[in-house]
Amino acid sequence: MSDFVLLDWDTRQVRLLACSHSGGVLSVRHAESAPLEDEVSAASLIAAFSPLVKRVSGGKHKAVLVLGGRDVQSRILRIPPVPAEELPDMVRLRAGTEFSTADETAIVDYLPLLEPEDEPATLLVARTAENRLELAKQVCGKLQLGLQHISLQGDGIASLAIAGNESLARGTHLVAACRNDGVDLVGLYDGKLASVRAVPLPKDGDLATQTKAVAREIRRTIAALASGLEASQIESLVWLTANEHDQALAESCGNELARKMVAVDLTSLPGLRLNDLESTDTLAPFANLLGTAIMADEAKLGFDFLAPRKAPEPKKPFTMYALAGTLAAIVLLGGGWLIHSSVASIESKADAAQAQLATLRNDIEEMSDEVKQSQQIQQWHNTNVNWLDELDRIAVTLRPEPLDNHEKFDKEGDVILTRINVRQAAGKNGRGGTVELAGGVREFSVIDEMEQRLGGADREVQQKPAIEDPDAKPYVWSFQNDIVVTTPQEGRS
């Protein structure tokens, strides 16, 4: 039997799950959350977790931490065909260029999704900053918990969904689970975690408002998942539920999307024993931890930032040891002069190589200013966007007719902007930039229409949940959009 304590957190809460796994049955002894009073730090996490850990019965536990949200970046990447032993290094190299910010010290792990022979492999790649791991180790150390694994948020949800519906082990699916003031959206491909997103729920929103916000994010996630996997369709939508609110939101989202939403009741999953819990109504936020506990005990974790996939160390063949033994025998028998001659030759070649290296270093130092200027020019070249043209395009798109053209002016579809921020792409190799828009509209439907009009081949609109304020008449809906502008490389000198 294995005893586990599983931990995770977001910007508002910490969660702890204590359980044991034996004979294919996961017995949950304790599940509790607590508010995070201050911003995420070692001190605030230790203060929030300490009372929870004290309420867990004594004994030796294996600690597993689940990272997600702002602490982890993940995306689907395609890697050219390479030998298996070179794949980890190739993934790390690609991750350094594909993610928005460069971080040579980041911890990178990946999960193969498609590995056809002689064709690019499709992988889900995730990375976290080294200081996140140090934070996790520090927190578990202070709580006197032996940290065994650091898993990726979403991996556990994928495992639970398949346990509740074995048909999800084949094909492409999307799984949702409520988590306090948000919803986790997890993509599955042939039973493997293929994508993970955490989307917020509108504050103080009713069921209809929450439904529109979540349905919009589900559409985006479906589009991104289908594009990343080159899948023709998402075969099913699944929602892990634990109470009436979860069930109502799942059904309402299914109606909004005009698709069947399959509900999987967490409280009746096979192999899950919940008798020790006072209530199971708040079990949904612990779905990640429940599934991760099962995977950790069965050594089936898709991601482990404490032990990421690495290139296998080459094994020393038997002939190498035999040669070493023969060489030792020659030395003992008086053949030391052979070794001396070989060492002298190696030292001579090393001196020549050092001299050549010194010459190259001098050449590089002399060219450092030119190289730096060239890099700066290349950076400008890669991130160059004609922002005046871009702002003109946005203005014409949002308000194609002037205010005094009363015959064609669309009063109900009018958009007023209160803030425009422009920034170039981050990173040395970033391309394009981002336009941040904030403003108000009269009708909620205008927000979706605006997203379609502002998007395009080289522009991705990232929309945050809209907020309704009946007192802010007539523009009762406020919105925030990020327009990511990508500068094409084709045709540029």
Domain tally for the chain?
2
Q: Are 3 and 59 in contact (CB under 8 A)?
A: yes
Condensed to tens digits (0 to 9), the pLDDT of residues 29-87 reads 899 999 998 899 999 999 999 999 998 866 677 899 999 888 899 989 988 888 888 88
Domain for residue 180, yes or no? Answer: yes
Residue 364 domain-assigned (yes or no): no
If asked whether residues 142 and 26 sit together in one domain, one would say yes
* Selection from 36, 280, 63, 217 nearest residue 150 by Cα: 63
The arithmetic mean of pLDDT across residues 428-456, rounded, is: 81
Among 63-72, 93-102, 352-361, the minimum mean pLDDT is found in 352-361
**Half-sphere exposure (CA, 13 Å, Cβ side) for 119?**
6
Mean pLDDT score of the chain: 82
Strands (E), 23-97: 25-35, 62-67, 72-79
Which of 297, 322, 357 finishes a domain?
A: 297
- Tell whether 278 and 149 lie within a shared domain: yes
Domain CATH number, residue 430: 3.30.1360.100
The reply to whether 154 falls in a domain is yes
On the question of pLDDT at 173 being above 90, the answer is yes
Residues 47 and 176 in one domain: yes
Among residues 241, 276, 297, the one where a domain terminates is 297
Print the domain residue range for 286: 2-70+130-297
Residue 389: both structure tokens together: 């043209």
**Is the backbone peptide bond immediately before 474 cis, with ω within 30 degrees of 0?**
yes
Say what the pLDDT of residue 434 is: 86
What is the biggest distance separating any 2 CA atoms in the chain, rounded to whole angstroms? Answer: 107
Burial category of 137 from C-beta neighbours within 10 Å (exposed 0-12, middle 13-18, buried 19 and up): middle
- CA-nearest of 97, 100, 75 to 221 is 75
Specify the DSSP element, H or E, that contains 468. Answer: strand 467-468
Half-sphere exposure of residue 85, counting CA atoms within 13 Å on the CB side? 4
CATH of the domain at 260: 3.30.420.40
Based on the domain organization, do 43 and 184 belong to the same domain?
yes
User: Do the domain assignments include residue 354?
Assistant: no
In the 8-state DSSP scheme, what is residue 169? G
Quick one: CA torsion of 226, 231, 232, 238, rounded to 10 degrees? -60
Helices 318-332 and 336-366 sit at what angle, rounded to 10 degrees?
120
Taking the chain, what is the end-to-end CA distance rounded to the nearest angstrom? Answer: 64
DSSP secondary structure string for all residues of 123-166: EEEEEE-HHHHHHHHHHHHHTT-EEEEEEETTHHHHHHHHHH-G
**Spatial contact of 375 and 428, defined as CB atoms under 8 Å apart:** yes
Residue 341: pLDDT band by 50, 70, 90 thresholds? low
**284 shares its domain with 181:** yes
Is 302 contained in some domain? no
**Are residues 190 and 286 part of one domain?**
yes
Helices 445-454 and 387-398: crossing angle in degrees, nearest 10, is 140
pLDDT for 493 equals 35
* Phi, psi of 23, rounded to the nearest 5 degrees: 60, 35
Residue 461, domain member (yes or no): yes
Same domain, 414 and 281: no
Bridge-based pairing state of the strands 25-35 and 272-273: parallel
Spatial CB neighbours of 353, under 8 Å, sequence gap ≥ 6: none
More confident call, 364 vs 163: 163
- Is 295 buried (19+), middle (13-18) or exposed (0-12) by CB count in 10 A? buried
- pLDDT tens-digit profile of 260-294? 999 999 888 888 888 778 788 888 899 999 889 88
pLDDT for position 128: 92
For residues 290 and 398, membership in a common domain is answered with no
Q: Report if residue 34 sits inside a domain.
A: yes
- pTM, to two decimals: 0.63
pLDDT (average), residues 160-167? 88
Do 63 and 174 lie in one domain? The reply is: yes
CA distances from 479 to 159, 276, 394 (A): 35, 44, 15
| pLDDT at 322 exceeding the cut of 60 | no
Query: Which of 297, 317, 339 finishes a domain?
Result: 297
353 in any annotated domain: no
